[in-house]
Chain A
C-alpha cells in the first residue's frame, strides 16, 4: 500500500514535471517529446494503480500519437527547433491566472469532498479478470456506446482524410 502510494506520487510528479516542460521549452519537437514523456508517466501511474490493461493501452496509444504530433510539428512550424527565440505565447498573465485558478479549484474539490469508504486492494479483481469484465461490459451493456465510438472514429478518419486531400478543383482554380 505504501509502495503503491509512493509509486503513484512519483509517476504523478514525473507527469506534472514533463507537462510543465511542454510549455516551458522553446523547441516544438522537444515539447512534443515532453508530452510523450508525460503520457508515458501517466501510463505507468495507471499500472501502479493496478489498471493493467488501461496502462498498457495508454502507453501504446500515446507512443504513436505523440510521434505523429512530432512529425506535424516539424511540418507546420516555421521554427521547430526553437532556434529563433520567437515568442509563441499571448495573453500570458491571463492564462496563467486561469490555469492556476482552475487547478486550485480542482485540487480543493479533491481535498474537500468526502470520498467515503475506500476499497482495499484485496477486493480488486486480478488483471485477467479485469480484462474479462471489461470485455463483458463492452460487449454487453455498453455495446451501443462502443459502436457509436467506432462509427465516430470511422467518420472522423474519413473526414480527416478529406480535409487532408487537396481537392482537384481547388488546385486548378488556384492555378488559373
Chain B
C-alpha cells in the first residue's frame, strides 16, 4: 500500500505540471483545459492516497531528497489525505466553473497558471510532513493569493486590496515562524511528528505563535478586514480562497499541531474563534454587498472551527472545515453567476434588475447552499454545526463557549435568511436586459455550481465515515441537535423578515475597523508626543536665540577694537601702493611688449590647428583609427 499512497504526490505534481505547460504554451485557448487536466490529475492522486490510507492507522511518509541532512517529508495520513481530497475536489470544480466565468478575459494563461500555483501550494501545505515544507507552502499560498486578488490590477483599488491581504497575512506569519522555531529548537528536527511531543513553556509559545498565524491567514478578529477587500479578485478566486485553500490554512495548521496546544492556549483559541464568529456574523448581517457578506460569513464560519478546536474537539472542526468548503464555494459560485448577469454584487441592484428568481436554477442552488450553511437538516451544515455545539457542551468551558456558538448559529441563520430575502424580488420586474444577458451563464459554470451544491447537500451522509477515517470522535448530543436546529430556524425567520433594526448596522458595516482602534491606540499618543516634542523645541529655540544675542553683543565690542586696528593698516597699505606703481611702469615699457608679441603669434598658430579637430567625436576617432592602422602597417613592414 505504501506504493499507492506515494501516488498522493500527484496531487501536488498535477497542478505543477499544468503550470509548466501553461507557461510554456501561453495559449489562451488551451490553458483552461491544461489547468483542468492538472486539477483532475491532482484529484486522482488525492483520491488514490485516500483510498490507500482508508483504515490504515500508520501514516505513510514520503521522504524526498532535500538538502543534505535535511530531507523533505510528505505525510499521507488519513487526515491529510482527506484534506487533500477536499482541496483537490473543490479546486477542480471551481476550475471547471472558472473556464466559463473567465471566458471573456484576455490574460487566461496568467489566470490559470496562478490558480494552479495556488492549488499546488495548498496541496503542499496540506501534505507536508516537515516544517520546512509547511513554511514553503504557507508562503506560496500567500504569494498566489496576492497575485490572484490583484488579477485585475488595472482596476481602481484592486492593487491596494491585494497588498493589504498580502501584508496582513504576512505580518501574522511572524507567528508561524515563532512557533516553528520554538518547536524545532526544542527537538532538533524539522519533522513534524516528533516536534509535537514538546510540552511546557515552549509549547505555549509555539501554540500562541500558531494561533497568531491562523488569525492572520483565516481572517479572525482583529485581523479580519483584509478578507472583505479580497473580494476585488475574480469570483472563482474568492470561491477557492474562501473555502478550501487560503483561509482554511489556519484551521488546518491548528489541526496539525493540536497535540502541542495546551489548555490555556486552547481557551484563547476558543475565545478568538467565538468572538470572531459573533462579530463577523454581525458584519455579514449589515453588508449591502453579496460578496462582502459572504466574505464576512467566511470569517464567522472559520471562527466556529477555531471554537470547536478550543472546545477540545478537532473532529468537529475538521468536519466543519470539510463541509464549509463545499457550502461556501457553491455560495460564491452562485454569487459569481449573479455578478455576471447583473454586473454588480450589490443587493439592491441585483434586486432591482430581477433578483434571484430571474434565474431559478442558480437561485435554487444558492438557497440550498445557504440553508446548508444555516444548519437546516439534512444538509451538510446541520451535522457539522451540531457536532460543534455538542463539543462545546462537553468542554470544560461550556458556560463560555455554548452561548457563543448558539449566538453564532443564530447570526448565521439571520444573515442567510436576509440574503435569501434580498435576492427574492418579484418576477415581474425581470427586465429585458437580463433576458438578453442569458448567455452570460455558460454550461461550465452551471456544472461547477451544481456539482458543488450536490456535495453540500449530500455530504451529511459522510459524517460517520469521516469520523472513522480520521480516527476522531465526532461529538453528538440530542439536546444540541434540538437547540441548534431551533436557533438556526429562529435565525432564518429573523433574517427573512428583517427583524433587526439599524442598531448594529452602522457599527457592523464598518467591520469593527481596526483603523479606528489604531487611531485611538497609536495615532493619538504619537500626536501627543509630537506636540510635547514641538513645545520642547520651542524652549530650545529661545535658548539658542539667547546665546546668539550674547554672541552679537560680544562681536560688537570686538568690532570697535577692530576699526582702530584698521586705521593703522590703511596707512601701511598706502606706502606699499606707491612702491607698486613705480615697478609697474618699468614693466609695461619693456618685458610686457615682448610677451604680447609671443602671445599673438602662438594664438595665430593655435587658430590654424583649431580648424583640424571638428569637435565631433566620430571625425576625431577616424583620425585616431587612421593613426592606429598606420602603426599596424609599420609593424607589418618592419617585421
Q: Real complex partners, A and B?
A: yes
B632 touches A98 (CB 8 A): no
For the complex, what is the distance from the CA of A139 to the CA of B626, rounded to whole Å? 39
B629 touches A105 (CB 8 A): yes
B636 touches A98 (CB 8 A): no
B622 touches A94 (CB 8 A): yes
Query: B626 to chain A: which residues have CB within 8 Å?
Result: 98
B629 touches A109 (CB 8 A): no
For the complex, what is the distance from the CA of A113 to the CA of B622, rounded to whole Å? 27
Query: B635 to chain A: which residues have CB within 8 Å?
Result: 109
Q: Is the interface of B mostly helix, strand, loop or mixed?
A: helix
B618, B633, B639: the one within 8 Å of A90 (CB): B618
B632 touches A106 (CB 8 A): yes
Known contacts A91-B619, A91-B622, A98-B622; A112/B629 CB under 8 A: no
| Interface residues in B470-504 (C-beta closer than 8 Å to A) | none
B625 touches A105 (CB 8 A): no
Can you list 9 A-B contacts with CB-CB less than 8 angstroms, sorted by A residue number? A91-B618, A91-B622, A98-B625, A98-B626, A105-B629, A105-B633, A108-B636, A109-B639, A112-B639
| Interface residues in B589-639 (C-beta closer than 8 Å to A) | 618-619, 622, 625-626, 628-629, 632-633, 635-636, 639
| Interface residues in A105-147 (C-beta closer than 8 Å to B) | 105-106, 108-109, 112-113
A45 shortest CB reach to chain B, Å? 23
| A contact residues, range | 10 to 19
Complex: chain A residue closest to B629, CB-CB: A102
Q: When each residue 73-100 of chain A gets 1 if its CB lies under 8 Å from chain B and 0 otherwise, what string results? A: 0000000000000000011001100100
A101 touches B618 (CB 8 A): no
Complex: chain A residue closest to B626, CB-CB: A98
**Chain A residues in contact with chain B, CB under 8 A?**
90-91, 94-95, 98, 101-102, 105-106, 108-109, 112-113
A102 touches B639 (CB 8 A): no
Known contacts A91-B619, A91-B622, A94-B622; A101/B629 CB under 8 A: yes
Query: B618 to chain A: which residues have CB within 8 Å?
Result: 90-91
B33 shortest CB reach to chain A, Å? 34
Beyond A102-B625, A106-B632, A109-B639, list 10 extra A-B contacts (CB 8 Å).
Answer: A91-B618, A91-B619, A98-B625, A98-B629, A102-B628, A102-B629, A105-B629, A105-B633, A109-B632, A113-B639
Query: A94 to chain B: which residues have CB within 8 Å?
Result: 622
For the complex, what is the distance from the CA of A108 to the CA of B632, rounded to whole Å? 10
Query: A108 to chain B: which residues have CB within 8 Å?
Result: 636
Complex: chain A residue closest to B616, CB-CB: A90
A37 shortest CB reach to chain B, Å? 23
B619, B622, B636: the one within 8 Å of A105 (CB): B636
For the complex, what is the distance from the CA of A105 to the CA of B633, rounded to whole Å? 7
B632 shortest CB reach to chain A, Å? 4
B632 touches A102 (CB 8 A): yes
A135 shortest CB reach to chain B, Å? 29
A-B pairs with lowest CB-CB distance, top 4: A105-B632, A98-B625, A102-B629, A109-B636
A91 shortest CB reach to chain B, Å? 6
Query: B628 to chain A: which residues have CB within 8 Å?
Result: 102
For the complex, what is the distance from the CA of A108 to the CA of B12, rounded to whole Å? 63
Query: A102 to chain B: which residues have CB within 8 Å?
Result: 625, 628-629, 632
Q: When each residue 69-107 of chain B gets 1 if its CB lies under 8 Å from chain A and 0 otherwise, what string results? A: 000000000000000000000000000000000000000
Complex: chain A residue closest to B639, CB-CB: A113
For the complex, what is the distance from the CA of A113 to the CA of B639, rounded to whole Å? 7
For the complex, what is the distance from the CA of A106 to the CA of B636, rounded to whole Å? 9
Complex: chain A residue closest to B633, CB-CB: A105
Query: B625 to chain A: which residues have CB within 8 Å?
Result: 98, 102
A89 shortest CB reach to chain B, Å? 10
For the complex, what is the distance from the CA of A94 to the CA of B619, rounded to whole Å? 10
Query: A95 to chain B: which residues have CB within 8 Å?
Result: 622
Query: B633 to chain A: which residues have CB within 8 Å?
Result: 105
Complex: chain B residue closest to A98, CB-CB: B625
Q: Tell which of A90, A95, A105 has the most Cβ of chain B within 10 Å.
A: A105
For the complex, what is the distance from the CA of A109 to the CA of B626, rounded to whole Å? 17
For the complex, what is the distance from the CA of A102 to the CA of B632, rounded to whole Å? 8
Query: B639 to chain A: which residues have CB within 8 Å?
Result: 109, 112-113
B630 shortest CB reach to chain A, Å? 9
For the complex, what is the distance from the CA of A102 to the CA of B627, rounded to whole Å? 10
For the complex, what is the distance from the CA of A112 to the CA of B635, rounded to whole Å? 11
Complex: chain B residue closest to A99, CB-CB: B625
For the complex, what is the distance from the CA of A91 to the CA of B632, rounded to whole Å? 23
For the complex, what is the distance from the CA of A106 to the CA of B618, rounded to whole Å? 22
Query: A106 to chain B: which residues have CB within 8 Å?
Result: 632
For the complex, what is the distance from the CA of A101 to the CA of B635, rounded to whole Å? 15
Complex: chain B residue closest to A102, CB-CB: B629
Query: B636 to chain A: which residues have CB within 8 Å?
Result: 105, 108-109, 112
A143 shortest CB reach to chain B, Å? 31
For the complex, what is the distance from the CA of A157 to the CA of B270, rounded to whole Å? 59
For the complex, what is the distance from the CA of A1 to the CA of B313, rounded to whole Å? 77
Query: A91 to chain B: which residues have CB within 8 Å?
Result: 618-619, 622
For the complex, what is the distance from the CA of A95 to the CA of B621, rounded to whole Å? 10
For the complex, what is the distance from the CA of A109 to the CA of B632, rounded to whole Å? 8
Query: A101 to chain B: which residues have CB within 8 Å?
Result: 629
B615 shortest CB reach to chain A, Å? 14
For the complex, what is the distance from the CA of A91 to the CA of B625, rounded to whole Å? 14
Query: B619 to chain A: which residues have CB within 8 Å?
Result: 91
For the complex, what is the distance from the CA of A173 to the CA of B15, rounded to whole Å? 58
For the complex, what is the distance from the CA of A126 to the CA of B626, rounded to whole Å? 42
For the complex, what is the distance from the CA of A141 to the CA of B83, rounded to whole Å? 68
Complex: chain A residue closest to B632, CB-CB: A105
For the complex, what is the distance from the CA of A108 to the CA of B633, rounded to whole Å? 10
For the complex, what is the distance from the CA of A91 to the CA of B626, rounded to whole Å? 14
For the complex, what is the distance from the CA of A94 to the CA of B635, rounded to whole Å? 23
For the complex, what is the distance from the CA of A44 to the CA of B632, rounded to whole Å? 28
B461 shortest CB reach to chain A, Å? 60
B621 shortest CB reach to chain A, Å? 9
Query: B629 to chain A: which residues have CB within 8 Å?
Result: 98, 101-102, 105
For the complex, what is the distance from the CA of A91 to the CA of B618, rounded to whole Å? 8
For the complex, what is the distance from the CA of A6 to the CA of B593, rounded to whole Å? 74
Q: When each residue 420-443 of chain B gets 1 if its CB lies under 8 Å from chain A and 0 otherwise, what string results? A: 000000000000000000000000
For the complex, what is the distance from the CA of A102 to the CA of B629, rounded to whole Å? 6
For the complex, what is the distance from the CA of A27 to the CA of B116, rounded to whole Å? 37
Complex: chain A residue closest to B625, CB-CB: A98
For the complex, what is the distance from the CA of A158 to the CA of B636, rounded to whole Å? 41
For the complex, what is the distance from the CA of A95 to the CA of B635, rounded to whole Å? 22
A60 shortest CB reach to chain B, Å? 25
Query: A90 to chain B: which residues have CB within 8 Å?
Result: 618
Complex: chain B residue closest to A105, CB-CB: B632
Q: When each residue 305-338 of chain B gets 1 if its CB lies under 8 Å from chain A and 0 otherwise, what string results? A: 0000000000000000000000000000000000
B482 shortest CB reach to chain A, Å? 71
Complex: chain A residue closest to B635, CB-CB: A109
B89 shortest CB reach to chain A, Å? 45
For the complex, what is the distance from the CA of A95 to the CA of B622, rounded to whole Å? 8
For the complex, what is the distance from the CA of A112 to the CA of B625, rounded to whole Å? 22
B413 shortest CB reach to chain A, Å? 60
